[in-house]
Structure 1
Amino acid sequence: MDDFDMLNAPSAGNGVGSEEDPAAAFLAQQESEIAGIENDEGFSILDSGDVPSSLGDTNGESNGPSDAYAAISNADRLQAEPESLRKWREEQRERLEELDANSRQQETEWKEKAKVELEEWHARQNEQLEKTKTNNRAAEEAMISDLDENNPGTEWERVARLCDFNPKSSKQAKDVSRMRSVLISLKQSPLVR
């Protein structure tokens, strides 16, 4: 006897070789249960169209156009979802409808609020525009009246009005203090021709 024959030989000492394989027994049991489920009366209704006697009417009366419809309704009743799931779906649907209604209401409120704010913004913009137009017209009229005045000897005063002599407001990087001092002195004592 070689080494491989010893592995195949049943051993009487430990009892493992004399028994049936537990995995094979489990598989056989599962197969028989599956076969029982496949042959169950509730699932065979839709395949064959015949109604089993346990599900059919005992009085011989039909509840619809044919016994097949009764069998389908009974099968549907057997496969209907549990009451807890049905309640949850209804509550969820109601919650979603309520949230949708709230979001639609909030959306309309936001639209109304945005409309009011937009109207206020347009009113402020128009008011600011009118103020700017009024100021520009007044400045233009003043400038036109100054241009119309062509009195001899007032040229340096007009130049001084057009120049900005405030050194703090000057945004130039160059030093223009000499020019500013010359213009101021010419304004105070104009040149005589």
Structure 2
Amino acid sequence: MEGGDPFGAPPVDDAPIVLDAPIPDPPVVVDEPPIVMPPAPVPVPEPIVMEAPVEEETSAMATWNAEWMEKLQNRKNSENEAKAAAIEQAGKDLAQFVAERDASRESKMSKNRSEEQVKLEALEADLESDNPWERVVKLVDLQQEGEGSDVSRMRSILIQLKNEPIKA
């Protein structure tokens, strides 16, 4: 493209186009101070005139409501006091229960220890016995009657062996 626009547009006039010509400076704009508008006038509110409170007679409903609210407050206070007393009593009862349970537990433990000690001493004494049938008889209950089978012969043999020492 000769002498025209690099994008293909034809020149507007017949003036020669110089490609290496200096670019003209952009027009200089003078900074002017901004225009400041005065603030819009604020409307002044009219003064509020408070009227003196007029003492109105309370209606029957308002009186009843006030009495009801007072009654409810009294009930709530008494219930809270009863609740606090019940909680305190429950704490005392729980402490007493725990103390009784511990005392009962300790007494059972000491009773069991003493019974175990007596039983161990009896076993040691049985081991020292000369007649082994005495040990066998102590392990068998000879006073109880059998329900379904006849054990009288066995009982009599055990009693006889207990009373007669072994002839060795």
After TM superposition, the score normalised by the length of structure 1 is 0.47
**C-alpha displacement of 1:88:** 1.3
* Consecutive unaligned residues in structure 2, runs of 5 or more: 1-45
Partners in 2 of 1:89 and 1:187 — Cα distance?
Answer: 98
2:155 equivalent to 1:178: no
**C-alpha displacement of 1:142:** 1.6
Q: Give, as a single letter, the amino acid of the residue that structure 2 aligns with 1:90.
A: A
CA contact (8 A) 2:133 2:161 kept: yes
Number of corresponding residues: 119
Write out per-residue CA displacement over residues 107-141 of structure 1, whole angstroms, 9 at most, x where no aligned residue.
01111211121122112111111110011111121
Aligned counterpart, 1:127: 103
2:118 equivalent to 1:142: yes
**C-alpha displacement of 1:164:** 4.7
* Consecutive unaligned residues in structure 1, runs of 5 or more: 1-63
After TM superposition, the score normalised by the length of structure 2 is 0.53
- Cα 1:137–1:152 change in 2 (3 A) is same
What is the identity percentage for the equivalent residue pairs of Structure 1 and Structure 2?
17
Write out per-residue CA displacement over residues 13-52 of structure 1, whole angstroms, 9 at most, x where no aligned residue.
xxxxxxxxxxxxxxxxxxxxxxxxxxxxxxxxxxxxxxxx
More helix per residue: 1 or 2?
1
2:54 equivalent to 1:83: no
**C-alpha displacement of 1:90:** 0.7
Q: Give, as a single letter, the amino acid of the residue that structure 2 aligns with 1:112.
A: E
Q: Give, as a single letter, the amino acid of the residue that structure 2 aligns with 1:147.
A: L
Report the 3-state secondary structure (helix = DSSP H, G, I; strand = E; otherwise coil) of the residue aligned with 1:192.
Answer: coil
